[in-house]
Each structure stands twice: as C-alpha cells, then as structure tokens.
Structure 1
Amino acid sequence: MLTLHTAELLVAGPGSTPLPGGAVLVEGDRIAQVGPYEELAAARPHARVRRWPGVLTPGLLVRGADELLERTYYPDDPYEIAELGADPIRGQAALAELTMTESRWGNSARRGTQKLLARGVVAVTGRFTVPSVRTAVVRSGLTVLPSAARPSGARPSGARPSRGRPEREASLDPFAGWDAAEQAFHGALEPDAPARFAVFAAADPEELLTLGATSCVATVIGGRLLHRRR
C-alpha cells in the first residue's frame, strides 16, 4: 500500500533546506519518494494521504537507552502512581526498595519504549543485558545500534558539543543538550531509505529545541504508524 505523509514543513535531514508543504511517499517499509505534496499526490492519486500539523523530520536517536530502560523504573499508570508517583525512578537505593525482578523490568521497559516512541524516537544505542528488556526493545520496533555507532544524521559532520558543556546524560528527550534539532536526527528521508520518521507540532526546526520531543504528534517506523497523539 502507498501512503503519502505530508506536513506544513518537511526537513529531510541534517543540512537540508526545509520544504513547505513537503511530503514523504511510503511503499511498504521503505520511502518511495520525497518532494512537494502536490507533485507526489498528482503522480500517485490512489495513495492514502495522512496530513500532519507541524514539522516532519527523520526519526530521532537516543543514546544510552540501557540507562533509561535497565536502570530506570517507570511506574504503572494508574496502578502504581498513588504509591510511587508518576516520575521515573532511578538510583540503586530506590530501585532496591522496589525488589525488581526480570518480569518487572520487562513491563517497565515496555512502558519506557512507549515513551520513546511518543517522542519521535526510532533508534537507540545501548547494551541490554536483561532478557525481558531486550525483548521489549526489539518488539517495540526501535532499531538498536552499537553504543559507539554514529549513524548518518545523528550529528552533522564536524559538529562538537559546546565548550564547557558536560557529557550528555541519557534522556527521554533526544533534543535535550543539543544546539540544533538536526543533531538528534537518525538518518535522512530519501528514496529507498527505511520509512522511519516523526512529526512534531512546531513551526520550524528551531522551535523543536524549545518545545522538546513531547511535541511529537506521530512516529512511523517501517512504514507503520507506531505512535499518534490522541
């Protein structure tokens, strides 16, 4: 099936010129074409159309996801919120009090991966040692990359962290700590590339750093819509 995703602004990748009214044509799990919506729609009139508000970009990359999924516990809403609160729980002492089991880690990781998908994340790095967590990550659809990997689009060539800035801690928000939104992109939107991208309720890429990844309205991985803001 052909699906045409279009937004108010399309940013195909790091360094690319934003395209107003741009669109991505998806066939199966790959990108077939990228360009102005009117042109793609005219060429493929039978494609299903999904219109999104805001900015459509490559999906995002989170580094150190083992910290987020194997050393952070996400309380089950609504069952544990009254007792534990809604915030993620970290730290050896706090986790020890929860008497964590592999099953509990797996359930927490499933909630964690949903939070990542809801922030436009399509890929993570990390070394997952808990089998139930590893299973949750694989089933989520997220791509797992080696920790040392720097995929195309994750950081512009030659870019460096600002002077004086400490090493970035693992965060659910892939934009946190970067100077430009494109530093969080994973790959680029181009023909034959995997169909994985996100849409954010923002006016332009610069606003993404202010709004954060919780402005995500949709996440597509392998051509499938895995998150849609209700």
Structure 2
Amino acid sequence: MLTIHADSRGHALVVEGERVVGTGVLGELADGYPRARVRRWPGILTPGFVNLYGPELLEEAYHPDPREAGELGTEPLSGEALAPLALDDVRWGGSARRGVQRMLAHGTVAVAGALCRPAAADAVRRTGLDVLPRTGRPGGVPSLDPLACGIPPEVPAPRERGSVASFAVFDVADEGELAERGASTCVATVIRGRLLYRRR
C-alpha cells in the first residue's frame, strides 16, 4: 500500500513496500500521490537510531515476562542477577523477543554487534532490524534508550528516495527536545515499510 507518513512540521515520506519512493513537504506529496493513504504523526520524523549494544541487551540481559514483574521487576536483568533464573533456550527466546519490542519502542531501526544466540538472531531477523558490524565492545552503558548510554547516539543516514523504509517518529518539537527527553518519546517505528511499533 502506498502510504505518506507526515510529522507535525509537515515533513513527509512516501512509502511503497519496503522502500521510500518520495520525500518532501506533505502538501506537495499529497498532490503528487493522490491515492496514497496519509498517516499524520505528532512530533518529528527521524531515521531512528542504531542501538550499539545488540549482544549486551539481547544475549546477556534477560527481559522479564510481564507475568514475572511481581518477582523480577520490569527492567532487564544481567550479570549475577541471571544466575538464580536458570534460563533455558525457551526463556531466552522470549526474552529476546521482548527486548526487540522494547528497542522498537525507543525508535531503534538497527542493532550493532554479532548475535550468536539463535533465539536472539531469530527475533531480530523476524522484525527486519538491520544488524551492523562493530569493532569491540562500545563504551558507555548498555541501554534500551540510545540517548541514555553516555556516548553520542548513532543515527542512520537520512531517508531519501530509494532508501529502505525504516524510520521512527518521536513526539517532540525538535531534535533538541528529543535529546533532552530521550527516546521513550517514540510514538511509531517503521521497519522496511511495516509499522512494528505504535504507542497506544
């Protein structure tokens, strides 16, 4: 389906299948693609973020099931906290899927670092998130919020005609407010043309 995604500033992308087929101002794109569905989002359209800590967050941390929140809380567990859990492949698989969903909720469109655990690699593959190479372990602190790691965030190239249609929308006025409030302001994440996260 041909879809125009537009933000509060009037910036817009035209998406068909997995690709961006047009960029520009909403009014002009709506005139140029009169049959396109229009999605208007609050905030700003961005290329999204690369989370530099793929292995650390998906293979070395356990994301509790909501049913475990009373016992384990809701934040990722790592290090010595994993020992009492006696995690098997099934629980690691569920953790990886929840971790990926939480990444999407923070505007992540790609992760960096090789994933060796099959369950984690499969969770990422199913969403279409890009997996990028990296050299060594990055500095900073692993976080689902790429703006809260203590190092400058990595951002993909701007979306343009012919780009893969992966991007995120944040409910902020501009990039300065995004940096101040963080990536939890994400309202939508699109991966390869599919809306995989939408804040309720």
Which TM-score tier does this pair reach, normalised by the shorter chain?
over 0.9
Structure 1 residue 178, shift from structure 2 partner: 4.5
Q: Decide whether the 8 Å contact of 1:175 with 1:184 is kept in 2.
A: no
Partner of 2:116: 129
Q: Decide whether the 8 Å contact of 1:64 with 1:147 is kept in 2.
A: no
Q: Distance in 2 between matches of 1:55 and 1:80?
A: 35
Structure 1 residue 64, shift from structure 2 partner: 2.0
Structure 1 residue 88, shift from structure 2 partner: 1.3
Partner of 2:3: 3
Q: Distance in 2 between matches of 1:171 and 1:82?
A: 22
Partner of 2:52: 63
Correspondence 1:217-228 to 2 at 5 A: 217-228=187-198
Letter in 2 for 1:131: P
Q: Does 1:86 align with 2:74?
A: yes
Q: Distance in 1 between matches of 2:13 and 2:127?
A: 23
Instruction: Provide the aligned C-alpha RMSD in A.
Output: 1.6
Partner of 1:146: 133
Q: Does 1:170 align with 2:142?
A: yes
Cα deviation digits, residues 79-137 of structure 1 (max 9, x gap) = 1111111221111x211110011221111000000000111101001221211121111
Q: Distance in 1 between matches of 2:32 and 2:191?
A: 24
Which blocks of at least 5 consecutive residues in structure 2 are unaligned?
none
Letter in 2 for 1:85: G
Q: Does 1:197 align with 2:167?
A: yes
TM-score by length of 1: 0.82
Tell me the secondary structure at the aligned position of residue 53 of structure 1. coil
| % identical equivalent positions | 51
TM-score by length of 2: 0.94
Correspondence 1:209-220 to 2 at 5 A: 209-220=179-190
* Greater fraction helix: 2
Counting matched residue pairs gives 198
Cα deviation digits, residues 172-214 of structure 1 (max 9, x gap) = 11122345xxx43212110001001100010100111111111
Cα deviation digits, residues 7-31 of structure 1 (max 9, x gap) = 013xxxxxxxxxxx11101111101
Partner of 1:160: none
Which blocks of at least 5 consecutive residues in structure 1 are unaligned?
10-20, 150-165
